[in-house]
C-alpha cells in the first residue's frame, strides 16, 4: 500500500467519479522509463552500499527531472518493501571492497553503535563536554585509541544505527513490468482505504473457472463484513450468472479502521486474477474546504487495458512470477519477520504468505492445508477432539440457495445427511449482524418443509466495530432459533458447549423422526428378537451389541434410515426404544450390561462360584475363565451386589464385600 498523500487520481466533479491514474504497462511509455530509473537507483544503492539519506536524495533528483513526485515516491514505496535496511557495519563484513572492513566487525562483536556513543559521551562528560573543536578532536582520538580503531571508523560507526545512515541489506530484484503492476494494485488498494462500500461482481458461470470462488473465500478468510446476492445478467450472447459481493467499507466502521482497511486491500490481487469481474466502490473525499463528497470508482477486467496484463498468456506469466517472487521474498526475511514489530510490515508479510498459500492450494492439492485464521484452526482441532461423530469439512464451496442468496461457510458439519453450516464472523457491527440474521431467517421461512437448514454463527467478540456498552447484550438480543445458533469467541476461546448441544439436538430430532418411527422400530425389534433367540440357544457366554448391530444391518434394505445409526446410539438416545429393547430382553431372560448381552441363567451360575470370594483379583480370574470381557467385569460385580473397596490400582489388593445377600435379578 502507498500512503494516501501519494494517491494519483482524477476527479470528475460533474458525475462524481474518481479515476485512479494507473501506470501503463506498454513498452516505451513514460511510466516504464520512470520505473526503470527508480529501480536503477535502488539497485545502485544496494550494490554500492549507499546510505539511505543519499538514496532519498537520488530519488529527489528523479522527482525534479520527471516532475511526478507522487509516482516516483509511490514506486519507491513499493520497492522499499522489497528491501531490508541494515546498519552499515553489519554489511561491511560481507563486502570485500571496503578496505576498512575488518575493524568495525571486530568492534561490533563487542560493541553496538550505542555502546560506542555511550563511551564517547561519558568521556566527554568527564572533560565537561567538547566545547571547542579541539577538545572534541582530542576526546575522539582518545576513544578511538582506546578501542583500537581509526578515528574515521569511530565517527562512522558511532551514528551507524541512525535510519538515514542505514544501507540496503537485501534487495529482491523486480522487473519493470512487475513493479508497475504492483504499483497499480497498490494504488487501487490505497484508493479503497477510504471507501464506504464496495460491490464486487463476479461471473460465476461454469466456463469461467473457479477463481470467483477464491475471491469469496478470501473475503471470508479476512473476516470482512459481506453479503452476497445472485443475479442473472442477460446479455446479447448469453445468460450470465453473477454473484454480487457487497463489502462494508473501512470508513463505515468506527473501531479498528486501519485493520479493517488493510484487510480490504488484501482481496484486491485475488479479484484482479479472476476471469470476469467488476468492482464498484463509493469513495469518500474531503475537499480542501473540509466538505465531504462521495465519488464513485469503477473498475473491471476490461477497463484500464494498459494497466493490467490483458491476454491470458501474459496474465498467467504475470501471476506466476508475481507469486514466485513473493515466495522468494519469503526466504530472505526469516529474521526480519520477528524483528519487525511494526504493524504495517507485519501485515504486509501476512499478505504475501497468504497469497502463496492460495497459489499452493490451487496448483497442488498435496500441500497440507494451511490455515490463515487461527480461529479456524482452533475450531477444527477442538471439534475433532470432541469425537461427536459428525464429520467436519473445511472451506466448502460457496453455497447458493434456491432463494437466490449465497454464503460462504467456514465449515460444514454433517451427519445422517444433515448439514450444519458454520460461519465464523470476524469483523462485525450490530447492524451487520442483524442484517445477516434477517437474511438467514428469510431462508428459513421460505424453505420447504422437507428442506433442512442449520447454521451456526461464531462471532468474534473482540472485533466489534462499533461502540456498544456491552457486546454480549447485543448478541443475545438477536434471538436464537432452532435453525440458527449464535455463539461467540473471545481470546481464541470458542464456547463449544453450546455448539455441541446444538448439533446433539439436531441428531436427536433426526433419530426420533426418521429412524424411530413406529414402523422402523417394530421392524428392528422383530429382527432383534429373532437374533437374540439364536444367541440364547447358543453356547456363547455373552453377545456384543456391535455384533448384534451388524447382524441387524444385514437385514436392512438400501436407504433404510437405520443404516446410518448404530444400535448403541439408538438405545442411548431414545428412551422409548430403550424401554422396548430391555423389555424384550428380560422376556428372553437376558440382561444387558454396557455393550454386552448376557444370559441370566449364566450369571446365576457364576454367582455360585464367586459369592464367597472376597478378593477382586480372584473374582476377576473366575470371570476371565468364563470368558466375560474385562470391560464389564466390575459392572457385573456391582450389579451382583458387591461393594468394592479399592486400595490403589491393583485388582488383587481390592476387597469385595457383599451388600445384598440375595440375588436380585
DSSP 526-566: HHHHHHHHHHHHSS-SEEEHHHHHHHHHHTPPTT-GGGGS-
Alpha-helix residue ranges (DSSP H) falling in 421-563 = 430-446, 471-477, 496-510, 518-537, 545-554
- In angstroms, the CA 584 to CA 376 distance is 47
Among residues 75, 108, 140, 494, which is the contact residue for other proteins, using CB under 8 A?
140
Of 247, 249, 427, 263, the closest CA to residue 351 belongs to 263
Shortest distance in whole angstroms from residue 113 CB to other proteins: 10
Q: Which is nearer to other proteins, 135 or 360 (CB)?
A: 135
Give the CA-trace dihedral at 77, 80, 86, 92, to 10 degrees.
Answer: -130
The nearest distance, CB 223 to other proteins, in angstroms, is: 23
Strand partners, 278: 201, 300
Contact 223, 263 (CB under 8 A): yes
Cβ atoms of 410 and 447 closer than 8 Å = no
Q: Does 313 bind other proteins (CB under 8 A)?
A: no
Q: Is residue 162 near other proteins by the rule CB under 8 A?
A: yes
**Which listed range, 85-93, 152-160, 230-238, 622-630, lies at the site for other proteins (CB under 8 A)?**
152-160
| C-beta closer to other proteins: residue 287 or 635 | 287
According to the binding rule CB under 8 A, does residue 470 interact with other proteins? no
Q: How far is the CB of 201 from other proteins (least distance, A)?
A: 33
CB atoms inside a 10 Å sphere around CB 241: 16
Distance of closest approach, residue 372 Cβ to other proteins, in angstroms: 32
Give whichever of 69 and 441 is closer to other proteins, judged by the CB atom: 69
Could you give the CA distance from residue 370 to residue 594 in angstroms, rounded to a whole number? 42
Picking from 209, 421, 225, 428, the residue whose alpha carbon sits closest to that of residue 315 is 209
Given the complex with other proteins, which of 166 and 267 has the nearer CB atom?
166
By CB under 8 A, tell whether 124 contacts other proteins.
yes
Question: Of 139 and 185, which CB lies nearer to other proteins in the complex structure?
Answer: 139
Tell whether residue 130 is a contact of other proteins (CB under 8 A). Answer: yes
Site membership for other proteins, residue 98 (CB under 8 A)? no
Report if residue 662 touches other proteins, rule: CB under 8 A.
no
Q: Is residue 490 a contact point for other proteins (CB under 8 A)?
A: no
User: Which residues ranging from 365 to 424 are in contact with other proteins (CB under 8 A)?
Assistant: none
> Which of 27, 110, 163, 335: binder of other proteins (CB under 8 A)?
163
Exactly one of 4, 48, 100, 121 binds other proteins (CB under 8 A); that residue is 121
* Least Cβ distance, residue 92 to other proteins (angstroms): 21
Tell me the C-alpha distance between 390 and 431, whole Å.
32
Distance CA 381, CA 664 (A): 47
Separation CA 33–CA 22 (nearest Å): 15
Work out which of 117, 340, 446, 447 binds other proteins, going by CB under 8 A: 117
How far, in Å, CA of 61 to CA of 344, rounded?
A: 28
Q: With contacts defined by CB under 8 A, how many residues of the chain interact with other proteins?
A: 30
Q: How far is the CB of 419 from other proteins (least distance, A)?
A: 42
Closer by beta carbon to other proteins, 136 or else 178? 136
State which of residues 25, 120, 219, 222 lies at the interface with other proteins (CB under 8 A): 120
Q: How far is the CB of 5 from other proteins (least distance, A)?
A: 8
Phi-psi bin for 241: left (phi > 0), alpha (psi -120 to 50), beta? beta
Residue 536 binding other proteins, by CB under 8 A: no
Q: The C-alpha cell of 120 is what?
A: 564517547
Best CA proximity match to 416, nearest among 561, 536, 307, 584:
561
Other C-beta atoms closer than 10 Å to the C-beta of 99 total 7
Question: By CB under 8 A, is residue 136 in contact with other proteins?
Answer: yes
Nearer to other proteins, 64 or 110 (CB): 64
Transcribe 214-267 into DSSP letters. Answer: HHHHHHHHTT--EEEEEEEEE-SS-EEEEEEEEEE-GGG-SSSHHHHHHHHHTT
- 117 or 285, CB closer to other proteins? 117
What mask, x for binding other proteins by CB under 8 A, covers residues 224 to 263? ----------------------------------------
Binding segment for other proteins (CB under 8 A), chosen from 118-126, 205-213, 295-303, 367-375, is 118-126
Strands of the sheet with 454-460, listed across from one edge? 391-394, 411-415, 418-425, 454-460, 484-490, 493-494
Place of cell 430382553: 585
Q: Return the range that interacts with other proteins (CB under 8 A); candidates 87-95, 112-120, 504-512, 637-645.
A: 112-120
What's the closest the beta carbon of residue 451 comes to other proteins, in angstroms? 45
Region from 128-136, 180-188, 301-309, 594-602 binding other proteins, contact rule CB under 8 A? 128-136
Contact call for residues 409 and 422 (beta carbons, < 8 A): yes
Region binding other proteins by CB under 8 A among candidate stretches 129-137, 341-349, 435-443, 604-612: 129-137
Check if the beta carbon of residue 499 is closer than 8 Å to that of residue 456.
yes
Rounded CA gap, 212 and 205, in Å?
10
Of the residues 87, 107, 116, 139, which one makes contact with other proteins according to CB under 8 A = 139
Of 110 and 132, CB closest to other proteins:
132
- Asked if residue 465 binds other proteins (CB under 8 A), the reply is no
Smallest gap from residue 67 Cβ to other proteins (A):
4
**Residue 295 near residue 462, CB atoms below 8 Å:** no
Count the Cβ atoms, other than its own, within 10 Å of residue 448: 6
User: How far is residue 1's CA from residue 81's CA, in Å, rounded to a whole number?
Assistant: 10
Pick the stretch among 115-123, 177-185, 290-298, 520-528 that binds other proteins (CB under 8 A).
Answer: 115-123
Residues in the chain: 665
- Within residues 25-64, the interface with other proteins by CB under 8 A covers 64
Q: Which is nearer to other proteins, 27 or 64 (CB)?
A: 64
C-alpha cell at 130: 567538547
- Give the end-to-end CA distance of the chain in Å, rounded to a whole number: 79
Q: Out of 13, 27, 28, 67, point to the residue binding other proteins (CB under 8 A).
A: 67
By CB under 8 A, the residues from 269 to 288 that bind other proteins are: 288
Residue 469 interacting with other proteins (CB under 8 A) = yes
- Asked if 118 interacts with other proteins (CB under 8 A), we say yes
Among the listed ranges 153-161, 341-349, 501-509, 594-602, the one in contact with other proteins (CB under 8 A) is 153-161
Give the separation between CA 260 and CA 215, rounded to whole angstroms.
17
**Per rule CB under 8 A, is residue 132 in the interface with other proteins?**
yes
Cα separation, 143 vs 564, whole angstroms = 84
**Which three three-digit cell numbers place residue 279?**
468492482
Residues that bind other proteins (CB under 8 A): 64, 67-70, 114, 117-118, 120-125, 128-132, 136, 139-140, 155, 158-159, 162-163, 288, 467, 469
Amino acid at each position: 500500500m502507498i500512503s494516501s498523500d501519494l494517491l494519483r487520481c482524477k476527479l470528475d466533479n460533474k458525475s462524481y467519479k474518481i479515476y485512479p491514474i494507473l501506470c501503463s504497462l506498454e513498452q516505451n511509455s513514460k511510466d516504464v522509463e520512470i520505473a526503470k530509473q527508480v529501480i536503477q537507483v535502488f539497485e545502485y544503492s544496494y550494490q554500492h552500499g549507499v546510505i539511505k539519506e543519499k538514496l532519498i536524495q537520488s530519488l529527489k533528483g528523479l522527482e525534479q527531472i520527471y516532475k511526478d513526485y507522487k509516482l516516483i515516491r509511490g514506486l519507491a514505496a513499493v520497492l522499499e518493501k522489497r528491501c531490508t535496511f541494515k546498519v552499515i557495519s553489519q554489511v561491511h563484513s560481507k563486502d570485500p571492497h571496503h578496505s576498512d572492513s575488518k575493524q568495525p566487525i571486530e568492534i561490533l562483536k563487542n560493541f553496538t553503535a550505542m555502546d560506542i556513543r555511550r563511551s564517547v559521551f561519558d568521556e566527554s562528560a568527564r572533560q565537561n563536554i567538547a566545547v571547542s573543536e579541539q577538545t572534541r578532536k582530542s576526546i575522539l582520538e582518545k576513544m578511538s585509541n582506546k578501542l583500537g580503531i581509526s578515528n574515521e571508523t569511530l565517527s562512522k560507526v558511532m551514528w551507524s544505527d541512525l535510519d538515514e545512515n542505514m544501507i540496503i541489506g537485501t534487495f529482491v530484484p523486480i522487473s519493470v513490468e512487475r513493479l508497475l503492476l504492483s504499483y497499480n494494485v497498490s494504488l487501487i488498494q490505497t484508493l479503497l482505504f477510504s471507501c464506504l462500500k464496495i460491490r464486487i461482481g463476479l461471473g460465476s458461470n461454469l466456463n469461467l473457472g473457479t477463481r470467483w470462488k477464491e475471491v469469496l473465500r478470501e473475503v471470508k478468510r479476512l473476516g470482512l463484513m459481506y453479503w452476497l446476492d445472485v443475479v442473472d445478467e442477460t446479455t446479447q450472447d448469453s445468460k450470465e450468472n453473477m454473484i454480487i459481493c457487497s463489502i462494508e467499507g473501512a470508513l463505515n466502521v468506527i473501531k479498528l479502521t486501519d485493520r479493517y482497511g488493510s484487510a480490504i486491500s488484501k482481496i484486491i490481487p485475488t479479484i484482479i486474477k479472476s476471469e470476469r469481474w467488476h468492482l464498484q466502490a463509493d469513495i469518500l473525499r474531503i475537499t480542501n474546504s473540509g466538505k465531504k463528497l462521495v465519488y464513485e470508482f469503477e473498475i473491471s477486467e476490461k477497463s484500464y487495458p494498459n494497466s493490467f496484463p490483458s491476454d491470458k498468456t501474459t496474465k498467467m506469466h504475470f501471476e506466476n512470477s508475481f507469486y514466485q517472487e513473493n515466495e522468494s521474498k519469503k526466504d530472505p526475511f526469516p529474521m526480519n519477520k520477528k524483528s519487525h514489530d511494526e504493524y504495517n510490515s507485519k501485515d504486509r508479510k501476512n499478505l504475501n504468505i497468504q497469497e502463496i498459500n492460495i497459489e499452493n492450494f490451487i496448483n497442488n492439492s498435496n500441500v497440507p492445508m494451511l490455515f490463515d485464521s487461527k480461529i479456524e484452526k482452533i475450531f477444527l482441532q477442538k471439534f475433532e477432539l470432541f469425537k461427536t461423530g459428525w464429520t467436519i469439512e473445511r472451506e466448502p464451496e460457496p453455497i447458493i440457495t434456491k432463494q437466490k442468496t449465497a454464503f460462504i461457510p467456514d465449515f460444514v458439519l454433517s451427519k445422517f445427511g444433515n448439514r450444519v453450516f458454520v460461519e465464523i464472523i470476524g469483523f462485525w457491527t450490530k447492524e451487520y449482524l442483524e442484517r445477516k440474521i434477517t437474511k438467514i431467517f428469510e431462508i428459513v421461512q421460505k424453505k420447504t418443509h422437507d428442506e433442512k437448514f442449520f447454521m451456526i454463527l461464531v462471532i468474534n467478540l473482540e472485533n466489534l466495530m462499533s461502540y456498544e456498552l456491552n457486546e454480549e447484550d447485543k448478541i443475545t438480543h438477536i434471538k436464537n432459533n432452532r435453525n440458527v445458533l449464535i455463539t461467540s469467541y473471545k481470546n481464541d476461546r470458542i464456547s463449544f458447549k453450546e455448539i455441541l448441544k446444538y448439533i446433539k439436538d439436531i441428531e436427536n430430532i433426526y433419530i426420533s423422526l426418521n429412524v424411530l418411527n413406529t414402523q422402523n422400530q417394530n421392524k428392528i425389534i422383530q429382527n432383534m428378537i429373532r437374533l437374540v433367540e439364536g444367541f440364547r440357544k447358543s453356547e456363547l457366554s455373552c453377545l456384543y451389541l456391535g455384533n448384534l448391530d451388524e447382524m441387524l444391518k444385514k437385514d436392512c434394505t438400501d436407504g433404510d434410515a437405520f443404516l446410518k445409526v448404530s444400535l448403541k446410539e439408538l438405545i442411548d438416545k431414545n428412551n422409548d426404544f430403550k424401554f422396548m429393547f430391555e423389555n424384550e430382553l428380560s422376556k428372553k431372560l437376558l440382561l444387558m450390561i454396557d455393550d454386552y448381552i448376557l444370559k441370566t441363567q449364566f450369571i446365576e451360575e457364576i454367582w455360585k462360584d464367586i459369592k464367597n470370594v472376597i478378593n477382586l483379583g480372584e473374582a476377576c480370574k473366575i470371570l476371565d475363565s468364563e470368558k466375560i470381557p474385562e470391560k464389564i467385569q466390575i459392572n457385573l460385580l456391582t450389579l451382583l451386589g458387591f461393594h468394592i473397596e479399592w486400595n490403589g490400582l491393583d485388582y488383587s489388593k481390592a476387597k469385595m464385600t457383599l451388600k445384598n445377600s440375595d440375588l436380585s435379578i
